[in-house]
Amino acid sequence: MKKHLTRIGLLMVFAFSLTLFSGCAEKQAVVKDEAVQEQKAVAAQAASTTTVDDEAARKAKEAAEREAAEREAAKREAALKAEADRVRAEKNAAALADLNIQNIYFDYDKSSIRPDAREILKANAELFSKKSATIVVEGHCDERGTAEYNMALGERRAQAAKEYLVNLGLNASRIETISYGEERPLDPGHDEKAWAQNRRVQFLLK
């Protein structure tokens, strides 16, 4: 029975990494398309503001080209970074799926650990105690409200989860916190269902 479960688990990890691969390919295509549109927008901007003089128009064009080149370079760098992030995330996802680590969720504008989250944290703590890797606790918020306040709220949620894990016996020096505020939603929707999914703490091992 246990063997059977592990096999299913492995299959799921495999399927998940496949979706990651295809998801990324799509994203890169979008990035390229956006870059082209952006250059057009920059050129249009330059054209609309510099009808005064040919000289100014030429300068603006040069600046736009330079800017576009810089942007391309940055995009390439970002793509490399994204690739590295993806590899890391994939490893993490595999490790977490293997371990069955679950997210915990929060009420609106709150950072207190809900009763349903306590059971999950206990189960997670047990799984973490079998590993030696550093635990990264990520705090997230829904899209409502101010980005800065949500950054603080996300950090508060991560801290609350960390404290809970420490109280369950995990070593504090093993646990890092990071807040992503409202910047990394799980569900891109704009309703209560999406928001409830996004007010969360996620765990990573590194």
Instruction: Please report, as ranges, the residues that interact with other proteins according to CB under 8 A.
Output: 27, 30-31, 34, 42, 45, 49, 52-53, 55-56, 67, 70-71, 74-75, 77-78, 81, 109, 145-149, 151-153, 155-156, 159, 176-181, 183
Closer CB to other proteins, residue 126 or residue 192?
192
How many CB atoms within 10 Å of residue 126?
12
Closer CB to other proteins, residue 109 or residue 119?
109
Instruction: Give me the least distance between CB of 95 and other proteins, in Å please.
Output: 18
Instruction: Give me the least distance between CB of 149 and other proteins, in Å please.
Output: 5
Instruction: Give me the least distance between CB of 33 and other proteins, in Å please.
Output: 11
Instruction: Give me the least distance between CB of 75 and other proteins, in Å please.
Output: 7
Q: Which long-range contacts (CB under 8 A, 24 or more apart) does 157-162 make?
A: 157/106, 157/111, 157/199, 157/200, 157/201, 158/201, 159/111, 160/111, 160/112, 160/113, 160/201, 161/104, 161/113, 161/117, 161/121, 161/137, 161/201, 162/137
